[in-house]
Structure 1
């Protein structure tokens, strides 16, 4: 299992949750401030979870998917943002998908 998936499980076990706006809440119910990580084409929100004295990053959309779908989210090929906005982490905008689905959605939007 990847370190990222371990951190997602650990955060959930420690009582971190997600609100309807896709914001991560700590066990006290306070919003967790994070940062933005840029990949080649997209920006993603991340939070840090302390593990053995070190902060480990978690992608917020993956944590939201875990809270929504459970273990299936960790086994899925990828996590999709249904509206293609990589910073919109609302649970109703997150789904488990495949890279082929993302490719087809993007291709269809370009050709229209």
Structure 2
């Protein structure tokens, strides 16, 4: 299992959750501020969880998928934002799928 998937599980075991707005809630019930990581064409929200003196970043959309789908999300090829807004991490906007699913959705959207 990858380190990022281990950290997702660890965050869940430590009591991190999500609210309806797709924000991370720490074990004390407070919103986690986190930050934004920019990649080629998108930006993604991240938060950190410390473990054994180290803090590793966790992508919020991957954590939301794990809370929604369990271990199936850790095995998925990719996590999809259904409305194509990479900063919208509400559970109803997150799905698991393949990169082909994303390509087909974008292709269909352009044709419409």
Place the TM-score, normalised by the shorter chain, in its bin.
over 0.9
Give the alignment's Cα RMSD to 1 decimal: 0.7
In the alignment, which residue of structure 1 is the partner of 2:85? Answer: 85
Q: Distance in 2 between matches of 1:31 and 1:110?
A: 36
Alpha-carbon offset, residue 111 of structure 1: 3.0
Give TM-score, length-normalised by structure 2. Answer: 0.97
In the alignment, which residue of structure 2 is the partner of 1:2? Answer: 2
Structure 1: where are the runs of 5+ without partners?
none
Alpha-carbon offset, residue 98 of structure 1: 0.6
Residues 24-103 of structure 1: pairs in structure 2 closer than 5 A: 24-103=24-103
Residues 7-18 of structure 1: pairs in structure 2 closer than 5 A: 7-18=7-18
Give SS of 2:10's match: helix
Q: Distance in 2 between matches of 1:21 and 1:97?
A: 22
Deviations 1:67-90 (A, max 9, x none): 011000001111000000000000
Structure 2: where are the runs of 5+ without partners?
none
**How many residue pairs end up in the alignment?**
112
Runs of at least 4 residues off by over 6 Å: none
Q: Distance in 1 between matches of 2:38 and 2:106?
A: 19
